[in-house]
Chain A
Amino acid sequence: MSSKAWFTFPLALSLVGTAGAGSYQAPEDVLQGVIEKVESDYLTQSEQNLMMMADNPANWVAEEGKALFLEKRGPENVSLEGCDFGKGPGVVDGAYAEMPRYFEDAGKVMDLETRLVHCMTTLQGFSADDPAVKERHGSSSDMMRLQSYIASKSSGYKWNPPLDHPLEKAMRDAGNVMFYRRAGSLDFSCDTCHGETGKRIRASVLPNMKVPEEWTKAVSWPAYRVGHQEVRSSQHRVRGCYWQMRQGQIVAGSDASIALISFWTDAARGQPAILPDMKR
């Protein structure tokens, strides 16, 4: 390698590394930024939530998650610094904004929750039945602490889930079909509520999948849900929507759930993530 190539190679790498990805920005600032870009009743519906964003209880949950992430745990007594979230072992900055993605070691597309389960069982040696892995909901669960921490490191980064691998594209496209798939006692699909801007269910303004500036907030999970007083995940949102649509219970971590999350993340592409978020 000539001395000239030796100098340009790392420079080119660093350019690729930052292009379009963005950098950290506090969630309250990201939200303010998208509010200034588009007129959206969804983004501005709760003045109280906007005021409380800086004191979001999810920030504390993320802090607890950081300690948990670095702690040596499980039968193998190792930290999660050995877990690859797509940008190399232990790299969390901007990693979640590029998920779901295909993982070579698992041979499948994984969302954040599924990847965490994978690392906790394979790397740390937890059994799938261990409460550390099995308990998925609520601010006091390890899962929500870890998810909140990892996701918070993508705040301000633009959603950019990769579609280079054929499985990433296949899952995204199947998720697209699922989004419009009407079924159940009420004939609903995701599009019933998320296909128009400014519409409400009762008093709640709904986000439109086709307006990325609005949709980025919709897919920004984990979020502290004020009505639940708990931090909730993407998987929890998906489960809740199917329940309300009277279509039964989706299996957390199933490829069906990951396909839908692949599609909804793709729909927010290019917009900065708001993490952790605060929702009604």
Chain B
Amino acid sequence: MSCYKIPKVAAFATLALSLALGGANTVAETSADKVDYTAMSAEQLADYLIFDARGFKLDVATQEGGTVRQRLEQDELQRTCSALQGARAEGDTATQVMAMARKAITYPEGEIKLGDWKKGEELARSGFGFRVGHNTDDHSEREPGGNCYACHQLDPDEIAYGTLGPSLKGYGKARGTAEAMLKYTYEMIYNPHAWFPCTKMPRFGANGFLTHQQIADIMAYVMHPESPVNK
């Protein structure tokens, strides 16, 4: 009997050790001989590799007070849009995604107003915030930005602008600042899927990336007549 005790203790010790390490390094445990990868669908295997096999450092804390695991878990909108594999959302899928997005929008108290366009410009230029991993953005040092220039043209004098999104040069000049336009612009930043289902643009409000105030400041940069975007 006693000879069976030793491996039992050893196995327990290994388990305790891996728990103590918090799964910091479990690559050795993820080899294909334990589970049959070929018996899973591609979707199941992708999820298995990310979560069960710990393909990411899942337990690392994030700036919003959660974990990397939570970042990687998909919500319904992300899952629905991923399944399209880059194709446009059409028909029922489009309707569903738009409804889902609209439900997730909250508005500031009172009316939607423009904030400070100068503050908004800083936010539009800054790509800081929410990065976690080999380097982690410290939000106590600097506030996160909206990184609008990564994808959009805004101030015509800025030449280093991205083109994944449409040009927003002269946005406010062309559209004005009537209440309906303020509401539309707010929604486009807060949850753009309400208007463009499965757009590539992030849900800056719904995902908690930008605050109501920051959205108001960015709206001012895009819409205010004094902003260089509209000069």
Binding site for B on A (CB under 8 A): 106-109, 166-167, 169-171, 173-178, 180-189, 191-193, 195-196, 198-203, 239, 242-244, 246-251, 253-257, 259
Contact = CB atoms under 8 A, between A and B. Distances in A.
A244 B131 contact: yes
Contacts of B43: 177
26 contacts: A108-B33, A170-B37, A182-B74, A182-B78, A183-B73, A185-B202, A188-B200, A192-B200, A193-B164, A198-B163, A201-B162, A202-B161, A243-B134, A243-B135, A246-B130, A247-B56, A247-B72, A248-B62, A248-B71, A248-B132, A249-B134, A253-B27, A254-B49, A256-B49, A256-B50, A257-B55
A251 B32 contact: no
Nearest to B163: A200
Contacts of A182: 74, 78, 81-82
Given A169-B38, A199-B164, 16 more contacts: A166-B38, A171-B45, A174-B45, A177-B45, A183-B73, A185-B130, A185-B202, A193-B164, A199-B162, A200-B161, A239-B134, A242-B133, A243-B131, A243-B132, A249-B133, A256-B56
Contact of B150 (A167, A198, A202): A202
A203 B161 CA distance: 6
Nearest to A179: B85
B105 interface: no
B37 A256 contact: no
B104 interface: no
A248 B135 contact: no
Given A107-B32, A253-B27, A180 B85 contact: yes
B30 interface: yes
Most chain B CB within a 10 A radius of its CB, from A106, A183, A187, A254: A187
Contacts of A243: 131-135
B192 to A, nearest CB: 10
Interface in B114-156: 130-135, 149-151
A113 B92 CA distance: 44
Contacts of B38: 166-167, 169-170
B133 A108 contact: no
Given A182-B81, A185-B202, A191-B86, A177 B162 contact: no
Given A177-B46, A191-B85, A251 B133 contact: no
Query: Main SS of the interface on chain B?
Result: loop
A187 B78 contact: yes
Given A176-B42, A246-B132, A256-B55, A185 B208 contact: yes
Contacts of B71: 183-185, 246-248
B89 to A, nearest CB: 12
A244 B207 CA distance: 16
B209 interface: yes
B159 interface: yes
B53 A255 contact: yes
Ranked 3 nearest A-B pairs via Cβ: A256-B55, A248-B68, A249-B133
A144 to B, nearest CB: 16
A233 to B, nearest CB: 14
Given A174-B46, A182-B78, A192-B200, A249 B56 contact: yes
- Most B-side CB within 10 Å, residue of A239, A254, A257: A254
A211 to B, nearest CB: 13
Contacts of A109: 32
A75 B182 CA distance: 69
A108 B132 contact: no
B31 interface: yes
B27 A254 contact: yes
B54 interface: yes
A178 to B, nearest CB: 5
B53 A254 contact: yes
B3 interface: no
Given A177-B43, A182-B78, A248-B58, A201 B150 contact: yes
Given A203-B160, A248-B58, A255 B82 contact: no
A202 B148 CA distance: 9
Given A185-B209, A246-B130, A254-B53, A202 B78 contact: no
B86 to A, nearest CB: 5
A177 B207 CA distance: 23
B202 to A, nearest CB: 4
A185 B85 CA distance: 19
Contact of B74 (A183, A193, A199, A200): A183
